[in-house]
Amino acid sequence: MRAAFLMITAVSVAFSQSLSQSGPPAFEVASVKVSPPSSEGMRMRPNFITPTPGGVTILNTSLKGVMQWAYHMQAIQVQGPVWLDSNRYDIVARTSEATSPERLRLMMQTLLTDRFKLAFHRETKEMQAYVVTVGKNGHKLKPSEGDGEMEVKPTGKGLLVAFTHVTLSQLSEMASSPLQGVVVDQTGLAGAWDFTIDMSAAAMQTPSDREDAIGMIIQILNDQVGIKIDQKRVPAEVMIVERAEKIPVEN
């Protein structure tokens, strides 16, 4: 009888451990704080999200910005209270082992639920968007060799900027900020790519308004990368925030 009891106990413990291991991915340790305002004002302080294999460092970033990164969303796709875009936070989260960028995002989703009590639902809405396709003369992207993280940096030659290990999904995310809208990738191009962009021509022009600036960006991508961007109304997924705490759970 005792042997049977011990066996049942052992199985129960093993089952519980299995459930724990298969639960939502989470950081080993994480510090979450409200960003302190600087003497110049909170928005004057630098803000960034820097993922590494060992974790994520976030400085002076809105909760909306963190959500965008964690869920692969663009600004217009995250809807909720105004403070989501105004209140700023510092987050330093570390993993117990080297972790892929995509798993880091999943860990951040768990952190948002645990520390900010974030709750939301998704809806599909038709909205004006920028649809990315391959230009009529083909693209000018070079397949990336080997593995690596996305990197964007000056080449040291004039105003040439090198993009390496960039997926079309990541390129669409990057373009959403200067284009100020939803960017939908319909190129059908999988994998990671390398390319360079020469910003010297754009640097010599002064756009007259927002539409002019957007036109310059679209023209550069078309001419130099072979990517075409058109404005269309398409169905897009949005996140509707139902609840979130302004003050996160203490560390």
> What pLDDT, on a 0 to 100 scale, did the predictor assign at position 46?
80
Q: Considering the domain boundaries, does residue 243 fall inside one?
A: no
Is residue 60 in some structural domain? yes
16: in domain: no
Residues 163 and 82 in one domain: no
Structure pTM?
0.71
Establish if 82 belongs to a structural domain. Answer: yes
Domain housing 74: 24-122
Residues 167 and 137 in one domain: yes
Residue 210, burial from CB neighbour count under 10 angstroms (0-12, 13-18, 19+): exposed
Residue at 115 is within a domain: yes
Q: For residue 1, tell me if it sits in a domain.
A: no
Q: In what order do the strands lie in the sheet with 48-52?
A: 29-34, 88-94, 55-62, 48-52
Nearest Cα neighbor of 138 from 226, 221, 229 is 226
pLDDT at 163 (0 to 100): 93
Tokens 């040291």 sit at which residue?
A: 156
d(C-alpha 44, C-alpha 39), whole Å: 9
What residues in the chain have per-residue pLDDT under 50?
Answer: 1-20, 42
For helices 63-71 and 101-116, the axis angle rounded to 10 degrees is 140
Do residue 184 and residue 162 come from a single domain?
Answer: yes
In a domain, 18, yes or no: no
> What is residue 40's predicted lDDT score, i.e. its pLDDT?
55
Residue 51 pLDDT: 92
* Residues listed for the chain: 251
Same domain, 110 and 171: no
pLDDT at 205: 77
Residues 6+ apart with CB under 8 A from 176: 74, 75, 76, 130, 182, 183
Residues 105 and 149 in one domain: no
The domain total for the chain is: 2
Burial group, residue 146, by CB count within 10 angstroms (0-12, 13-18, 19+): exposed
Same domain, 116 and 143: no
Looking at the structure, do residues 140 and 231 belong to the same domain, yes or no?
yes
